[in-house]
Structure 1
Amino acid sequence: MNYFNNSETEIIMDDVRIIVAIDFGTTYSGFAYVHKENPETVVINSSWPGREGISKTPTALLYDDGYKNVISWGNLALEEEPDEVSDDTEELRPRPVELFKLHISNLRKMDKPWLPPQLQYTKAIEDYLTQMRILIQETIERRWPTVRFPQQVDFVLTIPAEWPPHTTKVMRGCAFNAGLLSSLNSQQLEFTTEPEAAALHCLSVIKEHNLQPYDSFLVADCGGGTVDLTLRKLLPQNRLSEITERVGDLCGSTFVDKEFLHWLGRKVGFQALAKLKSNNYGQMQHLVQRFFCTRIKFKFSGEPSGYRTLKLNLHSYCPSLSQYVVDDFKEQMEEVGWVLKVDYDSVKEMFDPVIDRIINLIDDQLKNSSDEKCSAMFLVGGFSESPYLFRRVKETFEHQVPIIAVPALPIAAIVRGAITYGLNIDLVNDRILKWTYGIEVCRPWVSGDDINNRTSDGMYLYFYELAKRGRNAEVNQKFSGDFYPIRPDQDVISFNVYYTSKHDAKYCRDPGMRLLGVIRVRTHDTHLGLNRPIEFSLTFGKMEIKATAINKLTREIYEETTFELDL
């Protein structure tokens, strides 16, 4: 079966005391928590192994030699200082595992980040969430010793907007295996998208900008890996309506880091850079974080007069690199004493391809909402604090959007918004469907039918649409149809539910179609022959989908399930 039901005994929901939001990010992760009796006091965790006073820690793991057991995580997993460990020891040290979240995405296999062959990406996610769970549990038990963990804790997990529907299944399974949930099907866990959480956080600042009910605002969550956008309308009582289909792309700040390394590769040779990454990963981390990010990326404004050309001494930041540089590259580097000048034009070329993609995302969202005037745009996420990104966005859109702002603490916007969602899910009034959903049904032949879809008894299979992509669906809105058995004596009726990114589809075997799940209904009224209508419906309540089959004559509910998605 490709679904699960919620029949397991759950803890009484009124007994839940604590809400924990987890922002499991591509490059950095964080969590926040609040007691339901004191909802105004949201605490963003700022105490991490190896680092204090920051709201996030790197999404990174360091394993033992066999990549079975976690040695350290977060900041401790990344050796940034080249003199913290000898070269010989460093080469024996396993390479930290990073960016493993991207393996859920629709990236081509060749574009997905490195993972050791013996480590599945789901295992890495489970291991990371396990470390988070240990820290969360210690934190909760220290503050509220009488709270039972995890039974009296609700969790909200954020996911990127553009990722495939099976993301919730992957994350639910990993959260359960990490010990965050009492059972796999637990109602303790809710999902919200990263831009939706960001929009909910922005509810706390709309009064500062004098936004009124029925005003629209755009939120761009610019993180390390992904950039997610949502355009929302403010409704009375601070509820939110989604105006356009939420979108996202892989164009976060780490892609600027990649452009910097590409620039360096052209100077020293890409093979040399690959060997440094493979054999001396800590030195590469030190180069990117301590030199590029700290001295350039975080400060670059795009103003030529405000930029001072910097000298990069490769011997200081990555002393092992020189042994891998060969041929003409080595000769050229020796001529300049292994010192490179990083000028304004070079840095601008590192930023522009990434920021151009963000500009295009925003532009598309505004064009898709041409009937709605966008009153404000809020940039959140770590990358939103880039002076150059803000400048480019403001220069491009200031004549279309009167207010363009970065709220306070933008790096914590997602986790704070997720807490808001956990406290009051009803703040989300509706969402735009990102997929077209329907079921596979049989009917007699009609002109134009593809013979490849004919069944053994001469019927034809086709896709019956229940809900179309781009449709505005209110929370808990039901999309249904009436269906009949194809044989008088049929006592088992299967509903095969499919989804596609296309707005229109004819057959379930069309390219891009994926099976969402299967419901098999056993009936006991075969004496009625074909006159046995069954109402089948999909309800888009939250981030997961509920399917229901009801006998129209007796009103008997045959099945009520929440789908897990096939991978």
Structure 2
Amino acid sequence: MTTSCNNIRVVVGIDFGTTYSGFSYANVANPSKIEANDDWPERKGEFKTNTVIRYDNDLELVKWGFPALAEKSSRRRSAQSNNSSKVAELFKLHLGKVAEGDRPPLPTGLDPKKAVTDYLREIGKLIKNKVSARWPGLIFHKHVRIVLTVPVEYDEKIRAIMRQCAFDAGLILTLESENLEFTTEPEAAAIYCLENLNEHPLKVGESFMIVDCGGGTVDLTVRTLLPNTKLSELTESTGEFCGSAYIDKEFKKFLARKIGKSTLQLIEKKHYPELQYLIQHFCTNVKILFDGNEETWRSKELDLESVCPIMLQYVNGEERAALEESEWLIELDFETIKHFFDQVIAKILLLIRQQLTDSGRDISAIFMVGGFSESKYLLHRVRQEFSRQVPYIAVPSYPVASVVKGAAIYGLRMDIIKTRVLKKTYGIELYRDWTHNDPLDQKKIINSKEKILFFKRLAKKGTEVNVDQEFKNTSWPSHPTQETSIFEIYTTNAEDGNNCDEPGMKLFGKLELDLPDVNLGTNRPVEFTLTFGKMETRAIARNLTTGSSARANFKLEL
């Protein structure tokens, strides 16, 4: 990658979330003053805006953020009134490992990478305006480092897609720019908590868990506090799609039972903004307020005629008769709402329990961050389940801004992370001598010698690696006249492997290195190096005879 980081004057942290996004910024000359943006289109005073885009019929962006999402309907509005606009939300889930059937629908013809790029472009415009207004004369692509947060389940290929989207959105000047860095969402939250240790009883050598509860994902990481206010990663970070948006999904299932599944699907197709207005009404008046206390909780009523009158045009049959009898009021009692939450919280508790088991040591604290962490019921359930095992379970100040502020802190102090744990096993495909114990059909004759391809492990899953730690292997040409050396890098979730075509092996990257000086025969060593620690793994092959080198190219397909 190009080196342009010596000129960095400003750091911007971007929390590109599934349901909400935000950014923060700070000048390297005053690193203690990190500001989280709270001035958005049509909305002020909040640290985040909705991760939503509205397009016209030609898939040209019309609105983004909060203005693109919710729109109150009118009973007089015709059934065709909203066909001129298409709303895209939850499109970030299309990048993750969500089952095809569980992926949220997108407008016909919309590539999720286009939606990501369009959103980053719009939030990028706002970032550039804020930065230039605060520090006139600053050259954005030269003086600004961007730190983009991603879920822990994003592998290197998806991060490469995010880099491509950031480049296409104009956030960086070249695809290889080192002015763009990545960190995971729980890692950024851990860094934020680290900067606020004076509020919490945590000592050097103690370990703590971050549970980042967002809209789409819940991500977890266990870190150990090291001397000089640095962090090491104790266990492999984990994550699952069980954020607060899945409570909305449970509400939609409930709504489908009241108005009919086909009716809900029709309204979702024809009047998506109005349906979202209803869901936002549920979030504001029910979901956010629910505390799980049955003694004080009072049932809530949704007035469909008032909140989503367009719905009245579509409900028929038994459902219409029942709703007319109730005057279009839907009751949400305690048990119903609790069921919405419990379906999601059960998955979060399971993730926490697994991390506690994997850590193999005492955990001194659990910090709940992210927008969903402000749920009193969620905090109550976590404390109820784990308070005997973990003495300190807390929600730090400004949990909604913890990730975005932590991203900026990381950009200011990238040495704050001492180690990370590898999520996969890495290796390369090489030749070795074939033996009679090897499969006969895999034998290859190279330069009159019997050879076989095998998986050469370089780094094992679960290994705690230092930032910029290198794993090397030296090899030689297979035959004297070989003019190029091709390295194929593979990953697996297993701890090792025998060959690269066995189940679970995936091609991670590929590079090709020229091998001149054939007069030297096979005496032309090549050093292959994988460098870990930062969020983007680097792979380089170097010809030790000539000094030339090549960098791996990674596939970008979804």
1:427-438 to structure 2, matched below 5 A, reads: 427-438=416-427
1:368-517 to structure 2, matched below 5 A, reads: 368-370=358-360, 372-451=361-440, 453-455=442-444, 457=446, 459-517=451-509
2:126 to 131, 135, 151: 135
Which residue number in structure 2 is paired with residue 3 of structure 1? none
Which residue number in structure 2 is paired with residue 538 of structure 1? 530
Post-superposition offset of 1:92: 2.7
Instruction: Call closer, same or farther: CA 1:145–1:272 in 2, change over 3 Å.
Output: same
Confirm whether residue 521 of structure 1 aligns to residue 513 of structure 2.
yes
2:352 to 362, 367, 389: 362
Which residue number in structure 2 is paired with residue 21 of structure 1? 13
1:150 to 136, 141, 150: 141
1:51-450 to structure 2, matched below 5 A, reads: 51-67=43-59, 69-83=60-74, 86-87=77-78, 90-290=81-281, 292-370=282-360, 372-450=361-439
1:56 is matched by which residue type in structure 2? K
* Secondary structure of 1:91 counterpart: coil
**TM-score, with length taken from structure 1:** 0.94
Post-superposition offset of 1:429: 0.4
Which residue number in structure 2 is paired with residue 561 of structure 1? 551
Post-superposition offset of 1:565: 4.0
Does the CA-based 8 Å contact 1:545-1:562 persist in structure 2? no
State the alpha-carbon separation in 1 of the partners of residues 387 and 269 from structure 2: 45
Post-superposition offset of 1:461: 1.6
Unaligned 5+ segments in structure 2 are none
Post-superposition offset of 1:502: 2.3
Instruction: Call closer, same or farther: CA 1:378–1:87 in 2, change over 3 Å.
Output: farther
State the alpha-carbon separation in 2 of the partners of residues 229 and 453 from structure 1: 42
State the alpha-carbon separation in 1 of the partners of residues 425 and 196 from structure 2: 34
State the alpha-carbon separation in 2 of the partners of residues 402 and 90 from structure 1: 56
1:547 to 525, 534, 539: 539
Post-superposition offset of 1:87: 4.1
Does the CA-based 8 Å contact 1:28-1:59 persist in structure 2? yes
Post-superposition offset of 1:136: 0.9
- Cα deviation digits, residues 494-524 of structure 1 (max 9, x gap): 1111112222222211233222222212223
State the alpha-carbon separation in 1 of the partners of residues 170 and 543 from structure 2: 39
- Cα deviation digits, residues 242-285 of structure 1 (max 9, x gap): 00000000000000010011111112211111111111112211
State the alpha-carbon separation in 2 of the partners of residues 425 and 452 from structure 1: 49
Post-superposition offset of 1:337: 2.5
1:31 to 8, 23, 28: 23
Post-superposition offset of 1:533: 3.1
Unaligned 5+ segments in structure 1 are 1-5
Does the CA-based 8 Å contact 2:18-2:215 persist in structure 1? yes
Instruction: Call closer, same or farther: CA 1:452–1:170 in 2, change over 3 Å.
Output: farther
Does the CA-based 8 Å contact 1:105-1:163 persist in structure 2? yes
- Cα deviation digits, residues 6-64 of structure 1 (max 9, x gap): 3x5x54x3322111111111111000111111111111111011111111000111111
* Secondary structure of 2:501 counterpart: coil
- For the aligned residue pairs, the C-alpha RMSD in angstroms reads 1.8
State the alpha-carbon separation in 2 of the partners of residues 534 and 76 from structure 1: 56
1:78 is matched by which residue type in structure 2? L
* Secondary structure of 1:150 counterpart: helix
Does the CA-based 8 Å contact 1:382-1:410 persist in structure 2? yes
Does the CA-based 8 Å contact 1:31-1:415 persist in structure 2? yes
* Secondary structure of 2:141 counterpart: coil
Q: Identity percentage over the alignment? A: 42
Post-superposition offset of 1:456: 6.1
Does the CA-based 8 Å contact 2:73-2:310 persist in structure 1? no
2:151 is matched by which residue type in structure 1? P
**TM-score, with length taken from structure 2:** 0.95
Does the CA-based 8 Å contact 1:445-1:460 persist in structure 2? yes
State the alpha-carbon separation in 1 of the partners of residues 138 and 75 from structure 2: 41
* Secondary structure of 1:145 counterpart: coil
State the alpha-carbon separation in 1 of the partners of residues 83 and 468 from structure 2: 54
Post-superposition offset of 1:91: 2.8
State the alpha-carbon separation in 1 of the partners of residues 276 and 88 from structure 2: 12
Worse-superposed segment, 219-228 or 260-269: 260-269
- Count of aligned residue pairs for this structure pair: 554
